[in-house]
Amino acid sequence: MSQNDGEGGVSLDKAMLIQLIGSAIAISVLVGIAALAGIARPTPALDAAGLTALLAQEFPDRHPTATWISADGCGALARDGDTVLVLWKRGDGYVARDLAWPVVAAAQSKNGRLVLKTGDAAPVLAVADNVWPPQALVAQKECVA
């Protein structure tokens, strides 16, 4: 018997090679399954109907009177008095936050992009013609109950 022989005379090198190949195949199968299961669904660009539904879901107690959808459809703002509801695309869904109107109005558009800083993120919204803030949000009148 040589030093490489294990119990029963089987070479440890051959057994290790078989185990290695088996493990590599098993890992490849698991990675393939994970890749197929993890395919993200495409998120459609926001339109007026989609924005209304998303606002109702994310901010059920708010009733914005003016809305703006970014030029690329990947974000939107909705003004409710002195509060702006901010929605932007992240991964395969949308993130919702609220900001004060003066903060949003004071933001500067640069090269067709507007960066808004929330407490935990900095969404980038596409601005058509580099005009900020949009007239639809500025002209919004506060509703008095």
User: pLDDT (tens digit, 9 = 90+) per residue, 8-60?
Assistant: 666 678 889 999 999 999 999 988 887 887 666 778 889 999 999 999 999 99
Looking at the structure, tell me whether residues 69 and 123 fall in a common domain: yes
pLDDT of residue 44: 84
Looking at the structure, tell me whether residues 20 and 67 fall in a common domain: no
pLDDT of residue 91: 81
Q: Do the domain assignments include residue 2?
A: no
Using the predicted structure, report yes or no on whether residue 3 has a pLDDT greater than 90.
no
Using the predicted structure, report yes or no on whether residue 2 has a pLDDT greater than 80.
no
Looking at the structure, tell me whether residues 79 and 101 fall in a common domain: yes
Report residue 142 as tokens.
């506060």
Q: Do the domain assignments include residue 1?
A: no
pLDDT of residue 142: 45
pTM: 0.66
The domain of 30 spans 7-37
Looking at the structure, tell me whether residues 59 and 18 fall in a common domain: no
Looking at the structure, tell me whether residues 20 and 72 fall in a common domain: no
pLDDT of residue 144: 38
What's the total number of domains in the chain?
2
pLDDT tens, 108-135? 888 888 889 888 888 888 888 777 877 7
pLDDT of residue 100: 92
Q: Do the domain assignments include residue 43?
A: no
Looking at the structure, tell me whether residues 72 and 118 fall in a common domain: yes
Looking at the structure, tell me whether residues 116 and 64 fall in a common domain: yes
Report residue 11 as tokens.
């070479």
Looking at the structure, tell me whether residues 102 and 33 fall in a common domain: no
Radius of gyration of the chain (CA): 27
Q: Do the domain assignments include residue 15?
A: yes
Looking at the structure, tell me whether residues 56 and 24 fall in a common domain: no
Worst-scoring range by mean pLDDT, 31-40, 71-80, 93-102? 31-40
Which position has the higher pLDDT, 65 or 43?
A: 65
Looking at the structure, tell me whether residues 59 and 112 fall in a common domain: yes
Looking at the structure, tell me whether residues 33 and 55 fall in a common domain: no
* Residue corresponding to tokens 């929605």: 87
Worst-scoring range by mean pLDDT, 65-69, 77-81, 119-123? 119-123
Q: Do the domain assignments include residue 11?
A: yes
Looking at the structure, tell me whether residues 18 and 56 fall in a common domain: no
**How big is the chain, counted in residues?**
145
The string of DSSP codes covering 1-70 is --TTB-GGG-BHHHHHHHHHHHHHHHHHHHHHHHHHHTPPPPPPPP-HHHHHHHHHHH-TT---SEEEE-
pLDDT of residue 11: 67
